[in-house]
Every structure is written in structure tokens, then in C-alpha cells.
């Protein structure tokens, strides 16, 4: 049986907004990434101050909401493999006790940003061995804590192509995967340039390792070098086909929405252009809830 969840900050950064959106959908879990607790600035859940985290725990308990996983910044597209590894370990060491206190098992990581030259071209040497070393060490730490580290195909080494993903899985024994249905659409296929990746082919390649799913959809826009994001099933992400195959294969984990229809966290801008903060917040909340309802309707 699948369980619906969503990356809560896509509905809005305030914790109360994330709780309200989850309840509006009739769901009981939030995938926690960025969060704004009253009296504190927004930050990733593993980076907010202890007092903010204590308030977050109390608020979630009062609302009977659980956390499906942490969408950490560990090794993400904004992190370089040339950064000191201690920065990554600090994030992991902060995340572990917080996950244990919240009773959540999953944490999303990546394999660091793609190294590029001054012209934006991929460097021949991606320091793959160092990436694999760091992922193995991170996995060991999460394993020892009874937690599950899942790697996402995104703008990082493991998301560069199917062969990069498989190389990562081979180099980090037991590594599990969070597959994002839309990320292949806007990522160059280094196995077959200049084409973008094929979501179905990527899904099939990593399927044996999948422990978590992110649902977003869209159509690639070359002018933006990004996707124009759509409701699930209306883009090129083959969302309905992947979900049917996944469920038919006995998948029983979380299916998590990451709409991007009102906000894009890896982009400099957002599709939402409304200059009225309150109207923008309402649009973001409504977009998230509409997206969740559209996903429910796709399930066979």
C-alpha cells in the first residue's frame, strides 16, 4: 500500500501552512525540507536552531502529523565536491538525532553538483571516487543510526545519466534511491547528448533500488533550460505509467509530491509572478493542494 506525502515547503515555508495543506489533503505525513517556525527564519529542518526544532516537534505532535523523511541539503546541487567534507558531515550529524526524535527513517541526499568549466561545460574529471567515498561514509553513519539514506536523481553526479546512476549504485553497496519523475526532463543525458534524459528508461534502470518517489511533471522548455511544470500526468514525466508499474510491482512506500508549479527551488525565479505576498502565498498553497488531489485521481 502506498502512502501519500509531499515536500511541505512547496505549499509554503511556514510550518502552519505545511500542516494546513497536509490536512486539507487528508494526509498524515510531510516530507520536511525548508521550514519557517514562528520567531525564526526559514531554513532546512536540519539547520534550524534547537528552540525552533523543539517548537516544530510540539506543533507536529499537536496536529497528529508525522514526517515521512528529510529532504536534506546533503551533497545537493548547491554543494561542491571540492568543499570540505566536514561541512557535509556537520549536516548529517545534525540530521541524525532530529530524525530519530521525529521517528522518521528516510533522508534524501545527492552526490554533489556537476563540476563545470568557465563556459558551463562538464569537466572531464568529475572526482567520482571522492563522491563515492563520501556517500559510503554517509551511508555508514545513517546505517549505524538505523536510518535509510536515499539518493535522488537531480542536478548532481548520480543524476547526469543512467550510467552515472548505475555507477553510483555499484560504488555504494546497498544504496537506495528516490526517483523523481520529472528531473530527467530537464537534465542533459550524458549517455546520449544533446538529448535530455528519458524518465521511463531512468526509472527502469534504478527501479530495483527505489525506496521513495517524488512526483512532479513538466515539458522541457529549451529557452528556459528548465521544464514548464504541469499537473501530474500532463507532462513528459510518464507519471501515470511509472505509478502503475510501481504499484503493480508491489511498491509500498511513500509517494511524495514536489509540484514546482508555484515555486522552483533550484531555479533563480519562480513561475509565480504575483507581487502581492498574500496572493502569492494563497496561490502556492492552493497549487499544492490541487496538485495532491490530481495525483490521487491518477492512482488506479
pLDDT in tens, 142-181: 999 999 999 999 999 999 999 999 999 999 999 999 999 9
The pLDDT of residue 144 is: 98
Burial of 290 (0-12, 13-18, 19+ CB in 10 A): middle
The pTM score is 0.94
- pLDDT tens for 27-78 read 999 999 999 999 999 999 999 999 999 999 999 999 999 999 999 999 999 9
Spatial distance between the Cα atoms of 291 and 216, rounded to a whole number of angstroms: 9
Instruction: Note the Cα 134 to chain centre separation in Å.
Output: 19
291 φ/ψ angles, rounded to the nearest 5 degrees: -65, -45
* CA distances for 78 relative to 19, 64, 111, 113, 210, angstroms: 27, 33, 11, 6, 24
CATH dotted code for 3-298: 3.20.20.150
Cell of residue 190, nine digits: 550524458
**pLDDT of residue 199 exceeding 70:** yes
Burial of 243 (0-12, 13-18, 19+ CB in 10 A): buried
Domain boundaries, the chain: 3-298
Q: DSSP string spanning 103-135?
A: T--EEEE---PPPB-TTSPBPS---HHHHHHHH
The pLDDT of residue 300 is: 73
Contact 99, 144 (CB under 8 A): no
The pLDDT of residue 214 is: 98
Amino acid at each position: 500500500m502506498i502512502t501519500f506525502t509531499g515536500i511541505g515547503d512547496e505549499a509554503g515555508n511556514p510550518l502552519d501552512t505545511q500542516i494546513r495543506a497536509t490536512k486539507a489533503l487528508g494526509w498524515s505525513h510531510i516530507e520536511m525540507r525548508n521550514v519557517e517556525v514562528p520567531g525564526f527564519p526559514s531554513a532546512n529542518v536540519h539547520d534550524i536552531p534547537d528552540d525552533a526544532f523543539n517548537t516544530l516537534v510540539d506543533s507536529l505532535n499537536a496536529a497528529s502529523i508525522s514526517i515521512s523523511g528529510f529532504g536534506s541539503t546533503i551533497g545537493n546541487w548547491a554543494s561542491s565536491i571540492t568543499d570540505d567534507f566536514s561541512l557535509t558531515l556537520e549536516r548529517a550529524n545534525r540530521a541524525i538525532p532530529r530524525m530519530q526524535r521525529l521517528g522518521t527513517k528516510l533522508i534524501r541526499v545527492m552526490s554533489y553538483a556537476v563540476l563545470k568549466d568557465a563556459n558551463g561545460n562538464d569537466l572531464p574529471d568529475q572526482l567520482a571516487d571522492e563522491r563515492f567515498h563520501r556517500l559510503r561514509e554517509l551511508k555508514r553513519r545513517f546505517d549505524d543510526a538505523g536510518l535509510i539514506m536515499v539518493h535522488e536523481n537531480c542536478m548532481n553526479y548520480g543524476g547526469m545519466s543512467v550510467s552515472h546512476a548505475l555507477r553510483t549504485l555499484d560504488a555504494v553497496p546497498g544504496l537506495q534511491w528516490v526517483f523523481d519523475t520529472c528531473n530527467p526532463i530537464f537534465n542533459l543525458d550524458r549517455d546520449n547528448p544533446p538529448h535530455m534524459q528519458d524518465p521511463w528508461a531512468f526509472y527502469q534502470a534504478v527501479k530495483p533500488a527505489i525506496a521513495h518517489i517524488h512526483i512532479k511533471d513538466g515539458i522541457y522548455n529549451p529557452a528556459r533550460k528548465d521544464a514548464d511544470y504541469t499537473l501530474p500526468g500532463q507532462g513528459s514525466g510518464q507519471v501515470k505509467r511509472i505509478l502503475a508499474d510501481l504499484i503493480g510491482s508491489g511498491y509500498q512506500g511513500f509517494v511524495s509530491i514536489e509540484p514546482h508549479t508555484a515555486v522552483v527551488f533550484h531555479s533563480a525565479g519562480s513561475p509565480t509572478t504575483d507581487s502581492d505576498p498574500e496572493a502569492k502565498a494563497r496561490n502556492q498553497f492552493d497549487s499544492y493542494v490541487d496538485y495532491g488531489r490530481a495525483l490521487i485521481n491518477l492512482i488506479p
